[in-house]
Amino acid sequence: MPENPTVEQLMIIIAKLQAKLEKFRKENVALKEKLAKYENPKNSRNSSIPPSKDENRPKRNNSLREKTGLKPGGQKGHKGKTLMVSDNPDIIEKISPDYCNKCGKDLSGVEGMLDKKRQIVDIPPIKPIITEYQTFSKTCSCGCTSKSGFPNGVATPVSYGGNVQSLIAYLHARQFIPYKRMKEMLNDLFGLPISQGGIEQLLNHFCKTNIGLYNKILQAVENSDVVGGDETGCKVNGDKWWFWTWQTAKHTFITASANRGKKTIDSVLKKGLPKSILVSDRWNPQLNTTAKGHQLCLAHLLRDTIYLDQLYNN
């Protein structure tokens, strides 16, 4: 700085200092934001970050439940639950004493009185039932030969029935059992020899025959008073896709899409949800969905509250 600076020189110096000060201020804000990530890190418990993204995450996912200090299991005074005795057992085995425990006298001719009873709940040996359908032809006196036809669903020489198809669909869609393990399970438990390709064919057929029910579920969701919406990432042939879910207390509708934006919502909910209160996690496409009203997910708000409490120690 000059020994006797002029006003113009001082103004230039002040301007430069103000520019440096503003630069330092912005750097300070940026550094504080970076530091906050380490001093008050966000995780799956206090934000919408999935548990898989938690840094140095424990083996178990963080839970929003507060620790009570109580031991696991039923607490003192808790009413326990047990198997209920059936009033209509399928089989009754009567066990009567044949002789007197004291003198050894024959008691086979003495009528017994019921003392106690206990029940065993079990399943019968599982064995496939093979039903053979035979069609016949008859020749009328007029010379015409009439032939009977097979029932619906009996289209090939040998095929699996509706119960087998429903079981495979349930094990795959609800229990998430892969084809290979399902093939092994069906053979071990039921003696049903089926290939992985056969399982896939049955699932594809099941999907086609139940598309009407799938659409009815969507209609039920659209006509519900309250609907919860969410989406989660998944892999489809190695590519990033999304499972979109809309559910009510009784129905759950799921669809897969390569798009996480409103394009998917518009393609599924063509008119939105004008009859429903839509509960979501504040994902912008969900909030922009046409609805009677919007409710923010309480679990997400609770995580935000926990984070603010940790951030300000209050």
Per-residue model confidence as pLDDT tens digits over 263-287: 999 999 999 999 999 999 999 999 9
Distance CA 263, CA 210 (A): 25
Please report which confidence band the pLDDT of residue 46 belongs to, taking 50, 70 and 90 as the band edges: confident
Question: Of 257, 256, 260, 267, which Cα lies nearest the Cα of 285?
Answer: 260
Distance CA 234, CA 243 (A): 7
The interaxial angle of helices 179-190 and 162-173, nearest 10 deg, is: 130
> Are 190 and 235 part of one and the same domain?
no
> Are 203 and 260 part of one and the same domain?
no
| ∠ Cα 83 87 92 (to 5°) | 95
In a domain, 200, yes or no: yes
> Are 244 and 293 part of one and the same domain?
yes
In a domain, 18, yes or no: no
In a domain, 263, yes or no: yes
Identify the three-state secondary structure at position 175. Answer: coil
In a domain, 271, yes or no: yes
Question: Of 281, 209, 295, 216, which Cα lies nearest the Cα of 244?
Answer: 281
Residue 201: what pLDDT? 94
> Are 164 and 189 part of one and the same domain?
yes
pLDDT over 70 at 58, yes or no: no
In a domain, 236, yes or no: yes
> Are 204 and 256 part of one and the same domain?
no
Residue 110: what pLDDT? 92
Q: How many domains does the chain have?
A: 2
* Average of per-residue pLDDT values in the chain: 89
User: Which one is predicted more confidently, 222 or 41?
Assistant: 222
State the sign of the Cα–Cα–Cα–Cα dihedral 288, 294, 298, 302: positive
Identify the three-state secondary structure at position 106. Answer: strand
> Are 227 and 308 part of one and the same domain?
yes
β-partners of residue 253 are: 246
Over residues 113-127, the mean pLDDT reads 92
> Are 245 and 180 part of one and the same domain?
no
Based on C-alpha coordinates, what's the Rg of the chain?
Answer: 35
Residue 169 φ/ψ, nearest 5 degrees: -65, -40
In a domain, 231, yes or no: yes
User: Which one is predicted more confidently, 245 or 81?
Assistant: 245
Per-residue model confidence as pLDDT tens digits over 138-153: 999 999 999 999 999 8
Percent of the chain with pLDDT over 90: 66
Question: Of 263, 216, 271, 225, which Cα lies nearest the Cα of 244?
Answer: 263
> Are 275 and 199 part of one and the same domain?
no
Residue 5: what pLDDT? 81
Question: Of 307, 277, 281, which Cα lies nearest the Cα of 290?
Answer: 277
Over residues 289-297, the mean pLDDT reads 95
pLDDT over 70 at 188, yes or no: yes
Per-residue model confidence as pLDDT tens digits over 63-111: 667 777 777 777 777 777 788 899 999 999 999 999 999 999 999 999 9
> Are 248 and 199 part of one and the same domain?
no
**Following CA atoms 270, 272, 276, 281 in sequence, which dihedral angle do they give, to the nearest 10 degrees?**
120
> Are 234 and 308 part of one and the same domain?
yes
Q: Quote the tokens at residue 251.
A: 């129905």
Domain boundary among 209, 232, 254: 209
Distance CA 112, CA 99 (A): 12
In a domain, 285, yes or no: yes
> Are 201 and 224 part of one and the same domain?
no
Q: Which domain holds residue 234?
A: 220-312
What is the H or E stretch that residue 285 is in?
A: helix 284-287
Residue 182: what pLDDT? 96
In a domain, 15, yes or no: no
Single pTM value for the model: 0.63
DSSP string, 203-272: HHHHHHHTHHHHHHHHHHHHT-SEEEEEEEEEEETTEEEEEEEEE-SS-EEEEEES--SHHHHHHHSTT-
> Are 294 and 224 part of one and the same domain?
yes
